[in-house]
Amino acid sequence: MDQSGSSTSNLFSLQSHILAEESLHPGASGDFSWIISAISLAGKAIAHRVRRARLENALGDEGSTNVQGESQQRMDLIANDILMRCLGTRASIAVLASEEDEEPTILRRGNEGGKYCVLFDPLDGSSTLDTNGAVGTIFTILRNDHLIESAERTVCQPGRKQIAAGYILYGPSTAFVITTGSGVDLFELDPFIGSFILVKRGMRIPQAKRIYSVNEAYSASFPQGYQEYLKWAHANQYSSRYIGSLCADVHRILINGGVFLYPPTTSHPDGKLRLLYEANPMAMILEQAGGMSLSGSTPTLDVQPKKLHERVPLVLGSSDEVKAVMRHLT
Ligand code: AHM
Ligand code: MG
């Protein structure tokens, strides 16, 4: 693999990549690569279940709602269970927190060890599954602080403190995008050998591209500045692309450029997307790829979370496109 991201005949797996990165840090224990291997195992298992969801009659509502009052899809719960089972066995994890669960799961307390906390949205965009849409698992890894008693307060760290973040996109192929704070790398699952293979190293988002991605049907309830931006974009020959599944929309933007917006609306006055499970991991990836992410006028990564399931407005993408939105908001 060369720096431009073009393929060579070399095969480099996600596992080897993480081990190679860890070897650059003298004294690294290998705990971190165990966590990534658990997430990668979960990703393969979820990809398999997503592919067979209709055959297994696993689509549709479970009939329950999560803590945010949203209906849970059967596949949300299946993906959540797979992640819990894969990550729950890793000795270096103190706390797991899932968008689907009201409370964080404490695996280890105080001096029982556990250097890390892992937070995830098990199956983002699951409402598009019925129509064979692309969905994804979003994850982030934080350092655990043994001195903080409450698990909720432990994981309420600003996004700047994330030590790794990524997503697994279950589309026509299964893509694994990860950053550990030194660039963004893309792996694709080779289903024949069962490994995520490095296909692009050091991804860079195009600086500008006249494409916005927003649920425009809600635009009448957006704050004035967002409406002004959309008028300006219409007058400037922008295109629109919106899948309604964050991983798929962000993946397109990471590769092709453009801007994603989820502003405050009447039904979601703070925005819809969750700071800890959705906004922060995507913001870290976008910033590491040379893009930007803002929540209001604050960089998303600098927002101090107040509670586990907090929501924030989100504008992220190519830096010039995010700045164009901001010019209308201030
Ligand atoms: P979910 O976590 O319940 O799947 O909700 C998050 C999803 C995102 O993937 C997507 O960006 C957004 O909700 C779409 O919302 P809307 O249907 O309001 O446009
Ligand atoms: Mg989600």
| Ligand 1: residue whose CA is nearest its atom 18 | 215
pLDDT value for 299: 98
pTM: 0.94
Which residues line the pocket of ligand 1, CB cutoff 6 A?
70, 121, 124-127, 215, 244-246, 272
How far away, in angstroms, is 242 Cα from ligand 2 center? 15
Give the residues of the chain that fall short of pLDDT 50.
Answer: 1-6
Site to probe by mutation for ligand 1, drawn from 72, 99, 124, 274 as the one with most ligand atoms within 8 Å of Cβ, is 124
pLDDT value for 5: 45
Q: Which atom of ligand 1 is nearest to the CA of 125?
A: 4
pLDDT value for 148: 81
Q: Which two tokens stand for residue 113?
A: 């060890």
| Greatest pairwise CA separation for the chain in angstroms | 60
For domain 14-200, give the fold.
Fructose-1,6-Bisphosphatase; Chain A, domain 1 (3.30.540)
pLDDT of 244-254, one tens digit each?
Answer: 999 999 999 99
Residue 115's nearest CA partner among 141, 143, 140, 153 is: 143
CATH class of the region 211-327? alpha beta
How far away, in angstroms, is 278 Cα from ligand 1 center? 10
How far away, in angstroms, is 182 Cα from ligand 1 center? 28
pLDDT of 168-206, one tens digit each?
Answer: 999 999 999 999 999 999 999 999 999 999 999 999 999
d(CA 219, CA 134): 24
Q: For tokens 């995520």, what's the residue?
A: 196
Site to probe by mutation for ligand 1, drawn from 272, 282, 314 as the one with most ligand atoms within 8 Å of Cβ, is 272
Q: Which ligand is nearest to the CA of 120?
A: 2
> Are 311 and 264 in contact, with CB atoms under 8 Å apart?
no
How far away, in angstroms, is 273 Cα from ligand 2 center? 7
pLDDT value for 168: 98
How far away, in angstroms, is 326 Cα from ligand 2 center? 24
| Sequence ranges of the domains in the chain | 14-200, 211-327
